[in-house]
Amino acid sequence: MKTEIDLRKLQERVIQCRKCTRLVAYLKEVSQHKPKRYRDWDYWSKPLPSFGDPDGRVLIVGLAPAAQGGNRTGRMFTGDRSGEWLFNALNQFGFANRPDSFRRDDDFKLDDCYITATIRCAPPKNKPLPVEIENCRPYFLTELDLLRKVRIIVPLGQIAFAQTLRSLRLKGAEIPSLPFGHGKVYEVSTGQALRTISLITTYHPSQQNTQTGKLTRPMFHQIFRTVKKKLEIES
Ligand code: SF4
């Protein structure tokens, strides 16, 4: 219960955050220039809080909200193409109660899984600046402290992977240089607070990867099959 309350307090702070002036201005611009298909939507256009099961053993780390996706609906990955892939896979392997979610007020729920992101405001062209990543890092570091049951981290894509490693190192983990690739599994000793964590890498389910065939459904589902198996072995 305490974790849940602390996470809620953190999320309230996140929603109020205005540290990145470029992103604050961009979110305002996005909500003023909606595409026709979303013209009736009242865009969230604020930082997105993380969400999920506070006791989850699996932590998914995205890159950043999509301007017309999570930034519109108010929940990470909700209503965007990457979310369609992610939620479908999570449902397939028992981490979500349904395979899709298009609004933040639906009954979509994560089980044994928590979703966060490298930065919490949609950046222009999906490209955050290094200073924006650093501005947002303290929120992720706090989540690493609060989500005490996490055993497996799945960063989505190379940037999320690199930034997760950096955050774990800042927490005191001694992690050597690790190459990125799809489906790599690393065991990372993070010191007493976080114990040993498995890092399982995947290409990001962005349209750029899914439409070009760089990432296929079987490849993506294999990641969560591996996650599931690891949890079963450990329990
Ligand atoms: S990206 Fe993070 S640090 Fe920057 S304004 Fe949004 S919530 Fe704040």
pLDDT at 138 over 60: yes
Query: Measured between alpha carbons, how far is 23 from 17 in angstroms, rounded to an integer?
Result: 11
Query: Measured between alpha carbons, how far is 113 from 90 in angstroms, rounded to an integer?
Result: 9
| C-alpha triplet 192, 6, 197: angle, nearest 5° | 30
What's the pLDDT score for residue 96? 98
Q: How many CA atoms lie within 13 A of 186 on its CB side?
A: 21
Query: Measured between alpha carbons, how far is 31 from 115 in angstroms, rounded to an integer?
Result: 24
Query: Measured between alpha carbons, how far is 203 from 92 in angstroms, rounded to an integer?
Result: 18
pLDDT digits (tens, 9 = 90+) for 10-63: 999 999 999 999 999 999 999 999 999 999 999 999 999 999 999 999 999 999
For a mutational test of ligand 1's pocket, the pick from 28, 76, 120, i.e. the residue with the most ligand atoms closer than 8 A to its C-beta, is 120
Query: Measured between alpha carbons, how far is 157 from 176 in angstroms, rounded to an integer?
Result: 19
pLDDT digits (tens, 9 = 90+) for 75-106: 999 999 999 999 999 999 999 999 999 999 99
What's the pLDDT score for residue 192? 56
Query: Measured between alpha carbons, how far is 42 from 71 in angstroms, rounded to an integer?
Result: 10
Helix, strand, coil % in the chain, rounded to nearest 5: 45, 15, 45
Residue in 107, 116, 108 with CA at minimum distance from that of residue 142: 116
If you measure from the C-alpha of residue 75 to the centroid of ligand 1, how many angstroms do you get, rounded to a whole number? 15
User: From the CB of 121, is ligand 1 less than 6 Å away?
Assistant: yes
User: From the CB of 122, is ligand 1 less than 6 Å away?
Assistant: no
pLDDT digits (tens, 9 = 90+) for 172-182: 888 999 999 99
- Atom number of ligand 1 nearest to Cα 48: 7
What's the pLDDT score for residue 19? 98
What's the pLDDT score for residue 191? 66
Contact, 65 vs 38, CB < 8 A? Answer: no
If you measure from the C-alpha of residue 29 to the centroid of ligand 1, how many angstroms do you get, rounded to a whole number? 16
Q: Name the closest-CA residue to atom 6, ligand 1.
A: 121
Query: Measured between alpha carbons, how far is 235 from 224 in angstroms, rounded to an integer?
Result: 16
Q: Classify the phi-psi angles of 234: left when phi > 0, otherwise alpha if psi is within -120 to 50, otherwise beta.
A: alpha
Identity of the amino acid at 188: V
Tokens 């005191």 -> residue: 172
